[in-house]
């Protein structure tokens, strides 16, 4: 009897072992990443993040999953990128104006009118992870601080939107107006050059700041203005179109390096496809944003030739001051990719 009991036990264990061996892989066998995104569900760069997650799931046959955490639930882009640096987060999204706090040369992207709007797509192509010279430069710099560049996302050129309280009707009307800027010293310098009163406010606090009168203006594009429903608190745009904003997605470098070459390629390929999809989406996003402004009777104030000339004259000292702080090779690269 004892031998029979032992035999039965061995058989049961054998059946359990082989049953487990041939079970389909469970969802827990997946590699799951978190991506921190400050944008809401309707933002163009959120679309890029979600496409990245979708593409990676498809390319990896479900072996890798990216959970996109929207609306800044893991903190603003600077905080999230610090988390990615430290390894407590896999992926972070950050705008160029915050990225220069980690990598100084990125300050160049905030130089007013540094990118010709007519050559924006050509400029974006320079961020291709396999052939792009701007990708190669930026990726090398960010790896030094523990970040691996995965995607470069586009948002349309930015101008200034103002509240009714501001009374802005033309360029001279912006004098003394409190305007929201990011932590970028160049954004602040540009606002000062136009005699505005710049105030640093995180994106997730901008709506409240405009509503409460902490600021009466913001740097923004049509699409983001519409997605955030800012026609509720702002009713006019001064169309400077001076600042192109690029958004970057980084992965913790140590986590990336720990992956197999095949997995690394999957991530880069998923990001490459997603960024190109987002570049196209961004154009439609801006078109819909402009329609939103018109439907909500937002004034769209174009600059006169004289006002444009005045801006160029006033910002020359900004160029003179900040160009000295930027790697000249990087500045030349930005110019060369637009030729």
- Does 229 score more than 80 pLDDT? yes
d(CA 4, CA 235): 86
| Strand 31-36 versus strand 91-95 pairing type | parallel
Write the DSSP string, 207-254: HHHHHHTS-SEEEE-HHHHHHTTGGGT--EEEEEEEEEEEEEEEEEHH
- Does 20 score more than 80 pLDDT? no
Q: Which two tokens stand for residue 100?
A: 């220069």
**pLDDT reported for residue 4:** 44
Q: What is the mean pLDDT of the chain?
A: 91
Closest CA to 266 of 29, 24, 31: 31
Q: Mean per-residue pLDDT for 126-136? A: 98
Q: Mean per-residue pLDDT for 184-210? A: 93
30-336 homologous superfamily: Bacterial extracellular solute-binding protein, family 7 (3.40.190.170)
DSSP-assigned beta bridge partners for residue 95 = 247
Which of 20-24, 126-130, 183-187 has the weakest average pLDDT? 20-24
68-114 pLDDT per residue, tens: 999 999 999 999 999 999 999 999 999 998 999 999 999 999 999 99
- Does 9 score more than 60 pLDDT? no
- Does 22 score more than 60 pLDDT? no
278-326 pLDDT per residue, tens: 999 999 999 999 999 999 999 999 999 999 999 999 999 999 999 888 9
**pLDDT reported for residue 140:** 98
d(CA 116, CA 338): 8
**pLDDT reported for residue 183:** 81
Q: Which two tokens stand for residue 161?
A: 């939107």
- Does 147 score more than 70 pLDDT? yes
**pLDDT reported for residue 139:** 99
Q: Mean per-residue pLDDT for 29-40? A: 92
Q: Mean per-residue pLDDT for 4-23? A: 43
- A 10 A CB-CB count for 311 gives 19
**pLDDT reported for residue 220:** 95
% of the chain surpassing 70 pLDDT: 91
**pLDDT reported for residue 29:** 65
The C-alpha angle with vertex 104 and arms to 99 and 105, in degrees rounded to 5, equals 100
| Strand 236-252 versus strand 147-162 pairing type | antiparallel
Closest CA to 142 of 252, 264, 220: 252
């Amino acid at each position: 009897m004892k031998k029979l009991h032992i035999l039965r036990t061995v058989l049961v264990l054998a059946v359990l072992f082989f049953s487990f061996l041939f079970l389909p892989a469970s969802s827990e066998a997946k590699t799951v990443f978190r991506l921190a995104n400050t944008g809401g569900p309707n933002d163009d760069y959120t679309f890029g993040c979600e496409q990245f997650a979708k593409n990676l799931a498809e390319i990896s046959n479900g072996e890798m999953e990216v959970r996109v955490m929207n609306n800044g639930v893991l903190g603003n882009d600077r905080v999230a990128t610090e988390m990615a640096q430290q390894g407590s987060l896999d992926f972070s999204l950050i705008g160029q104006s915050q990225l220069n706090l980690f990598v100084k040369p990125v300050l160049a992207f905030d130089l007013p009118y540094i990118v010709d709007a007519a050559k924006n797509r050509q400029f974006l192509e320079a961020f291709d992870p396999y052939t792009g010279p701007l990708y190669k430069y930026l990726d090398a710099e960010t790896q030094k601080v523990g970040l691996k560049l995965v995607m470069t996302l586009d948002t349309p050129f930015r101008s200034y939107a103002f509240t009714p309280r501001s009374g802005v009707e033309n360029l001279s009307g912006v004098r003394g107006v409190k305007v929201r800027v990011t932590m970028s010293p160049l954004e602040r310098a540009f606002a000062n050059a136009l005699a505005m009163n710049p105030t640093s406010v995180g994106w997730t606090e901008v709506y409240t700041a405009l509503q409460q009168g902490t600021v009466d203006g913001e740097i923004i594009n049509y699409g983001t203005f519409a997605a955030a429903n800012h026609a509720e608190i702002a009713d006019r745009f001064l169309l400077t179109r001076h600042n192109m904003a690029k958004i970057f997605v980084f992965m913790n470098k140590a986590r990336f390096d720990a992956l197999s070459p095949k997995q690394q390629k999957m991530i880069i390929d998923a990001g490459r496809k997603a960024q190109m999809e987002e570049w196209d989406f961004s154009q439609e996003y801006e078109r819909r944003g402009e329609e939103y402004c018109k439907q909500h009777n937002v004034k769209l104030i174009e600059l006169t030739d004289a006002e444009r000339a005045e801006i160029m004259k006033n910002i020359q000292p900004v160029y003179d001051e900040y160009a000295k702080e930027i790697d000249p090779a990087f500045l030349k690269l930005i110019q060369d990719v637009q030729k």
